[in-house]
């Protein structure tokens, strides 16, 4: 999340003070992303240094300082809104854990997958509860629903990856090369258990 | 806390010999009044079998099913049919509304089949439609309703009368995510008003509306979520200034 651009976006609605910017940011994200006030002032100082915002009194710091967005700041903001985010897949820790589970003797990868799936679904239950309990403030609720949805869809994506991983690991591996002319002796049973069972069998 | 649905070591085997398929293996599940439970699992895990057995539409090979404290195995066919009309409500993925009937006629139908007069059945039907925000759609036919409205009518039909157990099979499978959410909100609200609900789904986002999520694999209950902590636990300690 770019606090820098979130602050520029709030300032694009009109000049504001650091404290008020923090309150606005928190309320519009349904209070799910708390901001440290120090973080707000540091970011504002950097924005001012880069010419993206300006203030009335450059000598005075603190709550009395009123900030407004500059033309360069507006240009930066509109460019950022449309810029696509990173293309390379991140090195996801969960992906690595599942990959490692396949190699560690005595570890049942299905159990590892289920432990993470349960944890993710419990997280999703907590986020959904926030939506279900939606309060009185309609504008805040839309912000909350959007932030919660973003997190729910992200978590759902991870659960779906785990589901797909589990199915893939249970299916017998497709033959990579044409079958050899002479059948291999004592071929492992296919079907239930699939690849996981064969791997466990190989360790015995 | 009243237990509305109890499955005790329920197994279901389809076929015999080499073609034998174990759809359920010694499943234990209790669902209490006011509770919404989601059963999550991939295709073929046994979710739908679990629901049809819980709803007395199918009999288990072994084990016992109790609905509102009464064991289904000790009931006559007639008593089971009455239980299905009065106590259990079903919601299906494809709504299953009768095209020739209006919304309120669809909703009132289970009560009429149970012997209630047409006028009283209609009044009860209208009351549920109103509760679900569909009063102005009561006299429309299903083809005059949106997908979301059709499913809400189907939920109204499942709730009409004195239902105690609500069973839903992928109830929002055919809907977009916002309409799907509306369906889950209604099911949750129905449970809060005293019904026990079971939703089977492969969708974690829908399952997350439940109080408890039970995971099923190859006919076995393998895991379940623990009662979720409050939303404040989402904010990491020390983050707030």
Rounded Cα distance between B239 and A34, Å, is: 6
Rounded Cα distance between B21 and A164, Å, is: 23
Q: Which residue has the higher pLDDT, A71 or A84?
A: A71
Inter-CA distances, B200 with A73, A86, A169, B32, B167, Å = 50, 36, 24, 16, 8
- Asked whether the beta carbons of A55 and A65 are under 8 A apart, the reply is yes
Reported pTM: 0.78
A125 to B223: CB separation less than 8 angstroms, yes or no: no
- Asked whether the beta carbons of B24 and B10 are under 8 A apart, the reply is yes
Chain B interface with A: residues with Cβ < 8 Å:
40, 42, 181, 185, 188, 202-205, 207-210, 213, 215, 217, 222-226, 228-231, 233-235, 239-241
A interface test, pick of B177, B205, B214, B229 with most A CB neighbours within 10 Å? B205
B231 to A129: CB separation less than 8 angstroms, yes or no: yes
From first to last of its 241 residues, chain B has per-residue pLDDT tens of 799 999 999 999 998 888 899 999 999 999 999 999 999 998 888 999 999 999 999 999 999 999 999 999 999 999 999 898 889 999 888 778 999 999 999 999 989 988 899 999 999 999 999 988 899 999 999 999 998 899 899 999 999 988 899 999 988 877 788 888 888 988 998 899 899 999 999 899 999 999 999 999 999 999 999 876 666 666 554 333 3
Task: Tell me phi and psi for residue B29, to 5 degrees.
Answer: -155, 130
Rounded Cα distance between A86 and A78, Å, is: 18
B234 to A38: CB separation less than 8 angstroms, yes or no: no
Rounded to the nearest angstrom, the minimum Cα separation between B152 and chain A is 18
Of all residues in chain A, the percent with pLDDT exceeding 70 is 75
DSSP string of A138-161, one letter each residue: HHHHHHHHHHHHHHHHHHHHHHHH
Task: Tell me phi and psi for residue B166, to 5 degrees.
Answer: -115, 125
- Asked whether the beta carbons of B56 and B72 are under 8 A apart, the reply is yes
Rounded to the nearest angstrom, the minimum Cα separation between B224 and chain A is 7
- Partners of residue B229 in chain A, C-beta under 8 Å: 126
A interface test, pick of B208, B218, B224 with most A CB neighbours within 10 Å? B208
Per DSSP, B230 falls in state P
- Partners of residue B225 in chain A, C-beta under 8 Å: 118, 121-122, 125
Rounded to the nearest angstrom, the minimum Cα separation between A160 and chain B is 8
In Å, the largest CA–CA distance within chain B is 66
- A125 interfaces chain B, CB cutoff of 8 Å: yes
Q: In this complex, which of B188, B213, B241 lies closest to A35 when CB atoms are compared?
A: B241
B204 to A128: CB separation less than 8 angstroms, yes or no: no
Residue B73's Cβ-side half-sphere holds a number of Cα atoms within 13 Å equal to: 11
For A22, the closest chain B residue by CA position comes to: B241
Query: Among A27-36, A142-151, B83-92, B136-145, where is mean pLDDT lowest?
Result: A27-36
B223 to A118: CB separation less than 8 angstroms, yes or no: yes
- Partners of residue A128 in chain B, C-beta under 8 Å: 205, 208-209
- The interface predicted TM-score (ipTM) is 0.84
């Amino acid at each position: 999340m770019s606090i820098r651009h979130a602050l520029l976006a709030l300032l694009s609605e009109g000049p504001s003070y650091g404290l008020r910017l923090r309150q606005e940011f928190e309320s519009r994200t349904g209070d799910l992303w708390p901001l440290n006030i120090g973080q707000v002032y540091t970011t504002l100082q950097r924005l001012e240094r880069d010419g993206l915002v300006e203030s009335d009194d450059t000598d005075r710091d603190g709550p009395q300082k009123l900030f407004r967005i500059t033309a360069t700041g507006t240009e930066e903001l509109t460019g950022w809104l449309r810029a696509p985010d990173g293309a390379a897949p991140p090195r996801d820790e969960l992906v690595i854990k599942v990959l490692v589970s396949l190699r560690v003797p005595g570890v049942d990868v299905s159990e590892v997958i289920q432990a993470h799936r349960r944890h993710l679904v419990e997280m999703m239950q907590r986020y959904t509860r926030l939506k279900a309990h939606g309060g009185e403030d309609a504008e805040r609720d839309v912000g909350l629903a959007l932030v919660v949805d973003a997190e729910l869809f992200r978590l759902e994506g991870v659960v779906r990856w785990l589901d797909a991983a589990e199915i893939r690991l249970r299916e017998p591996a497709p033959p990579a090369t044409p079958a050899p002319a002479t059948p291999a002796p004592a071929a492992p049973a296919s079907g239930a258990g699939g690849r996981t069972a064969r791997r466990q069998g190989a360790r015995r | 806390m009243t237990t509305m649905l109890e499955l005790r070591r329920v197994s279901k085997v389809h076929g015999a010999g080499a073609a034998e398929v174990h759809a359920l293996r010694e499943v234990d599940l209790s669902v209490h009044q006011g509770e919404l439970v989601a059963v999550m699992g991939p295709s073929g895990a046994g979710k739908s079998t679990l629901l049809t057995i819980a709803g007395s539409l199918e009999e288990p090979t072994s084990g016992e099913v109790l609905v509102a404290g009464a064991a289904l195995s000790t009931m006559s066919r007639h008593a089971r049919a009455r239980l299905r009309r009065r106590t259990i409500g079903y919601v299906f993925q494809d709504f299953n509304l009768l095209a020739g009937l209006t919304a309120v006629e669809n909703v009132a139908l289970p009560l009429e089949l149970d012997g209630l007069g047409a006028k009283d059945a209609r009044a009860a039907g209208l009351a549920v439609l109103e509760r679900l925000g569909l009063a102005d759609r009561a006299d429309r036919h299903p083809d005059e309703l949106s997908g979301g409205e059709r499913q809400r009518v189907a939920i109204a039909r499942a709730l009409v009368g004195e239902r105690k157990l609500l069973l839903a099979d992928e109830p929002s499978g055919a809907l977009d995510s916002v309409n799907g959410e509306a369906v889950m909100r209604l099911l949750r609200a129905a449970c809060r008003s005293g019904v026990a609900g079971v939703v089977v789904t492969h969708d974690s986002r829908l399952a997350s509306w439940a109080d408890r999520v039970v995971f099923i694999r190859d006919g076995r209950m393998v895991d379940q979520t623990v009662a979720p902590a409050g939303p404040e636990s989402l904010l990491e300690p020390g983050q707030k200034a």
